[in-house]
Amino acid sequence: MGAKAAFPDRPVVCTSGDGSIGFAIAEFDAMVRNRLPSVVVVLNNRAWGSSLHFQERNSGPGRVHGTRLAAARYDEVAAALGGRGVRVTEVDAIGPAMREALSGELPTCINVEVELGAAPPNMKVFARR
Ligand SMILES: Cc1ncc(C[n+]2csc(CCOP(=O)(O)OP(=O)(O)O)c2C)c(N)n1
Ligand SMILES: [Mg+2]
């Protein structure tokens, strides 16, 4: 929001996980009221993925606890707060969704369904075995 307020004529994109956006999705209300049309891309893997992968590596695959999320419609939450929402399930749809969001007048949530399997290589640093 600060970036868009400081540079209203420049594109502002925030990338977030689905877990992280759960803490902050209500800020769409503030973006709508203050006319700050930033674009929020949610990488929706239906989990606190980094926490889940940590549990899998350190405790075992059957010992994952409290880190899965529902396939929530963060795009619909953004729309309910007065912004725009787009759900993307195919990679080819990301480009057009971004172009439309960046040219629009409303803050937009692009809710992208992604796989949960991929874990960053630096997770190995935490591995006990
Ligand atoms: C305010 C806050 N609470 C908890 C954490 C601990 N934490 C680090 S990563 C993570 C999971 C994030 O999940 P998500 O945003 O869905 O990203 P993913 O790893 O799935 O890509 C959590 C809970 C944190 N960094 N900050
Ligand atoms: Mg996630």
Confirm if 112 and 43 have CB atoms less than 8 A apart.
yes
pTM: 0.93
Whether 127 shows a pLDDT value over 70: the answer reads: no
Residue 45 Cβ inside 6 Å of ligand 1? The answer reads: yes
Mean pLDDT of 60-72: 94
Q: Which of 50, 65, 116 is the best mutation target for the ligand 1 pocket, counting ligand atoms within 8 Å of the beta carbon and taking the most?
A: 50
Mean pLDDT of 84-89: 98
Residue 112 Cβ inside 6 Å of ligand 1? The answer reads: no
Token pair, residue 76, equals: 């619909």
pLDDT-based confidence at 124, cuts 50/70/90? Answer: low
Residues 6-46 have pLDDT tens digits of 999 999 999 999 999 999 999 999 999 999 999 999 999 99
HEC string for 12-41: CEEEEEHHHHHHHCCHHHHHHHCCCCCEEE
Closest residue by CA, ligand 1 atom 11 = 48
What domains does the chain contain, in order, with CATH numbers?
Answer: 2-126 (3.40.50.970)
Residue 66 gets the label, from left (phi > 0), alpha (psi -120 to 50) or beta, of left
